[in-house]
Amino acid sequence: MNDTPSQPAVDNVYIARIFERIAEMLEFKDENPFKIRSYRMASEAIGEMQVQVSEIAARGGATELQRIPGIGKTISGQIVEILETGKSAYYGELSKEIPETVLDLRRVSGIGLKTAQLLYRDFGVKSLPELKALAEGGSLASVPGLGEKTIDRIRRSILRLESEGG
């Protein structure tokens, strides 16, 4: 039996997901809203395409990819990189700055972008298990802007996410 994890299929869904995660990380960092929007638009465009971007790239590389509405020079180059390597170096750099698990905090009802940023920056919360520990320890009450009802909603939401498998 082979225990080596297999490389995910590099298809439109995979590439769209990378660009969506890049947009989320840029948003978390309070980057330029136009840059965030560019990655979101690219994600949506690629995710909705009937033709695989790999077929378009095979016909003419990054230049041909730029014919897709919402795909510019930078993003087309990143698409080619993902198609060739299965990875995005830019996404990797962002992941080193912001642990991807931090983005999962926003899945919790009662936690928006600003609260997630605050939890990460001021309380070192990088994941749902760390948020759960903070909630169970009663320390969420010390987070500015979180009232009793919101804290209760956060606790219930964490339990629901755990029961759903993550």
pLDDT tens profile 79-93:
999 999 999 999 999
Q: Which two tokens stand for residue 29?
A: 């960092």
For the chain, what are the domain ranges? 12-97, 100-163
Averaged pLDDT score across all residues of the chain: 90
pTM: 0.82
12-97 and 100-163: identical CATH topology: yes
Residue with token string 């298990």: 129
Return the pLDDT at 8: 66
Residue with token string 């033709």: 51
- Looking at domain 100-163, its CATH architecture is Orthogonal Bundle (1.10)
Cα separation, 149 vs 44, in Å, equals 35
Predicted confidence pLDDT, tens digits, the chain (166 residues): 444 444 568 899 999 999 999 999 999 999 999 999 999 999 999 999 999 999 999 999 999 999 998 899 999 999 999 999 999 999 999 999 998 889 889 899 989 889 999 999 999 999 999 999 998 888 898 888 888 999 999 999 999 988 887 5
Return the pLDDT at 2: 44
3-state per-residue secondary structure call for 97-130: HCCHHHHHHHHCCCCCHHHHHHHHHHHCCCCHHH
CATH level 3 topology of 12-97: DNA polymerase; domain 1 (1.10.150)
Give SS3 for 124: coil
Give, in order, the Cα–Cα distances in Å from 2 to each of 5, 6, 9, 55, 107.
8, 9, 18, 30, 34
Return the pLDDT at 3: 45
